[in-house]
Amino acid sequence: MKNAGVLPQYFVEDDHGPIVPKAVYYQVQGERKRRSALMLDPSKLRFGKRLALNGRLICGHCGRVLKRYVKPDETKTDWRCRQRAMVKKSNLKEGTGMRCDLRIVREADVQNVVAMAFNELPSMRDELIVAQERLLTGEIGRIDALLSTLNGQQDQMENRLDQLAATMEEPVNTTVVSEVGGEPEVDGSSTEVEFLKAQIVSIRNQKNALYAERAEHANKEVQLRILLELVEQMTGEVQEIEGGSGACYDYEEFFRRTRYTVPEGVIQDGRMVRFDNDLVIRYLENILVEDHGYTVRFKAGVEVKVEG
């Protein structure tokens, strides 16, 4: 599979439906609109003041999200498992509530962990590129090949159905009911029609499952791509994305024009020196808080373990 432009295929709509289901197409369109809206008005470059860590810190003991606590005199902010926060001591005494014993973490520490995870990315650049290639030529390529085979089979069956329909419309003498007392002769072509219809339904179901699977991989691939763009900004090695011609052009152009620029002062000498809400919202899936460290999970499907 040559340098696969995923996006142009979103626009292919034929009898077999788009290569990627509509839901994903619209999702991408939405992202595209949102990005271009951001482009027009620099003041909208911020996602808003929403706290980036909200809902992104996950308890390593019970899987619930952590809740933010600000000390009344505002000298300290920390995060604690919701299951710890919500269960009152009185409930504990009565044995009516289970309290999660995950440690309390300081917000400043978590922010530091996030910066450390981002700073691991440049050293993971090759790994990211391999993962992206594997998605394009491996998973996505395999699914495209399967879809192509299934489409071919469906075509054949539909053609055969058309043929059968044409012969059945002609006055047929072969389906005359047999002699008295015998079973009616089975119409050979109508059983074949039923068989073909069932096969086509089965193929459609297989294709729908593949579309969904492909959409997941395609989404990961997009996430890897924008993460690689960030790495390039961190290392200052902005490279032209290869391709840029033919079918891939729109796709590459889309990324080039909507390139995200890291706010000034966040990255210095290739390192993230300041915690940034936008970067967290853009690239992080969540952060698992464990007893002796954190697992920082990026939307691109890679994770970084940080001790602390």
Q: Residue 105 Cβ, how far from Zn ion at the closest point, in Å?
A: 12
DSSP state of 186: P
Dig out the tokens for 291 from the structure: 């007893």
**Least distance between Zn ion and beta carbon 116 (Å):** 23
Closest to Zn ion by CB, 61 or 299: 61
| DSSP conformation letters of 118-135 | HHHGGGGHHHHHHHHHII
- The smaller minimum CB distance to Zn ion, of residues 78 and 276, is found at 78
CB of 200 to Zn ion, least distance (A): 49
The nearer residue to Zn ion, 80 or 214, going by C-beta atoms, is 80
Cα–Cα distance for residue pair 106/113, rounded to 1 Å: 11
Nearer to Zn ion, 62 or 87 (CB): 62
Q: Is 62 in the site for Zn ion (CB under 5 A)?
A: yes
Nearer to Zn ion, 80 or 217 (CB): 80
Stretch that binds Zn ion, among 36-44, 51-59, 220-228, 292-300 (CB under 5 A): 51-59
Task: Identify residues 217-246 at the interface with Zn ion (CB under 5 A).
Answer: none
Which residue of 100, 143, 279, 287 would you call a contact of Zn ion, by CB under 5 A?
Answer: 100
Task: Answer yes or no: are the C-beta atoms of 121 and 234 closer than 8 Å.
Answer: yes
DSSP assignment of 142-159, as one string?
Answer: HHHHHHHHHHHHHHHHHH
Stretch that binds Zn ion, among 15-23, 61-69, 232-240, 262-270 (CB under 5 A): 61-69
Q: Of 6, 20, 58, 59, which one interacts with Zn ion (CB under 5 A)?
A: 59
Q: Considering only 95-103, 112-120, 204-212, 273-281, which stretch makes contact with Zn ion by CB under 5 A?
A: 95-103
Q: Among 6, 7, 19, 102, which residue interacts with Zn ion (rule: CB under 5 A)? A: 102
Contact 80, 72 (CB under 8 A): no
Residue nearer to Zn ion on the CB measure, 24 or 105 = 105
Element spanning 81, H or E: strand 77-81
Which amino acid is located at 271 in the chain?
Answer: R
Q: What is the CA radius of gyration of the chain?
A: 28
Nearest-10 crossing angle of helices 249-257, 188-235: 40
Spatial separation of the C-alpha atoms in residues 123 and 235, rounded to whole Å? 10
Would you say the C-alpha torsion 100, 102, 103, 109 has a positive or negative sign? negative
Kindly state whether residue 99 participates in binding Zn ion, applying the rule CB under 5 A: no
Q: List the interface residues with Zn ion, window 73-92 (CB under 5 A).
A: 81, 83
Measured CA to CA, the distance from residue 225 to residue 172 in angstroms comes to 61
CA distance 136 to 42: 33
Least gap, CB of 7 to Zn ion (angstroms):
40
Per CB under 5 A, which region of 9-17, 58-66, 151-159, 266-274 contacts Zn ion? 58-66
Which residues form the interface with Zn ion (CB under 5 A)? Answer: 59, 61-62, 81, 83, 100, 102
